[in-house]
Structure 1
Amino acid sequence: MAVELVYQYSKETIIEQQKIALTQQLTKVFPLSIEQELKASTLNKNAYPNLPLLPKKENINQSQAWFVCKKNQQNGFILSIRSKEGYSGTIDLLVGISNANKITGIGVLNHQETPGLGDKIERYKSDWIRQFTGHSILSSSWNIKSQQNTNRTHAFDAITAATITSRAVIKIIKKTLQQSSSLIDKNHCSTL
């Protein structure tokens, strides 16, 4: 009974703190100028079957997205995506993508990767995740450096002793960039 009272009393504060933490993470993934704003939206996963979207808890056929808007013009978006190929399970990410189809940033929402190894995908444990910022589908081979394709200019570092985790993250970001052009082509800001 006492636990229920404490929960009811602190529920609104917890929800507010979760919103603040999410906003902070979103603005790290897509830094906003003073004129830009984030507009939340729900994507129907069936409308974007090739995007590796993270399903919402309330409805697995929907995914949360945020569109970066300036005067009702879309400048980019943030998607919540999921890789099912992590070493220890799924890896859930936020990926910011500009209208030029370049990565603006990546944040880790959730994972079960090995502590001290695969968990280095987290921004506060290592700079590894930052190496993708500024890259497009054409600016990289989207491989780990040891597998570098000579036709492209850049490959990515792997996390030492966490190659499976590294490959899973690289692969899901590449797939997201390849499939996100339909979100760039439409101005979602004018309809939100």
Structure 2
Amino acid sequence: MLRRLYDWTMSLAARKSAEKWLAVIAFIESSVFLVPADVLFLPMALAKPEKAWRYALIATVASVLGGIAGWFLGYYAYETIARPVLEFYGKLEAFDALRASVDYQTVVLLLITSGLAHLPPIKIVTILSGVAHINIWLFIISAIVARGARFMLLAWLLQRYGEPIREFIEKRLGLLAALGAGVLILLYIAYRYIAH
């Protein structure tokens, strides 16, 4: 199923309505969808590098709006909507474990790491932020910074290096972003340990 979903998302890049689809995918990825917006963003930006920044802006705005929707799902509709979505994707156990083990500051850190590196998946953290009653304005600022940084970096790489960077992005950028997110988490843990 995941492969068909990925292929369908990739096919949207060739359509005239690709920008609208990019906004839709980026929006729903942040709250309920499994396939990241990068899958659509990358081929679009490679096909029209002069529009890479525009695509990055569309993806950022839609992703932040989708994150806000995820926050509202967690805050107001966890039992009726968010929980069944998490169950559908097999993420409920991971969500419950995360929910039981994090505090307010950790959720804010996870907002940044998930926005940059999908670590953990963004939809889990947006819903968790609502459940944990993270301040909505702090949530929005974190989402703008993290998602904006991700899409703007991708736009810059694709504009500067073009097709040769695509393989690197598809195979290694996730790993590098995850390593960066891991460093942020370790720094936070060290800070918490030293502070206490």
TM range (shorter): under 0.3
TM-score, length-normalised on structure 2?
Answer: 0.25
TM-score, length-normalised on structure 1?
Answer: 0.25
Structure ranking higher in strand proportion: 1
Between structure 1 and structure 2, the one with the greater Rg is 1
Structure ranking higher in helix proportion: 2
Higher relative contact order (CA 8 A, sep 6+): 2
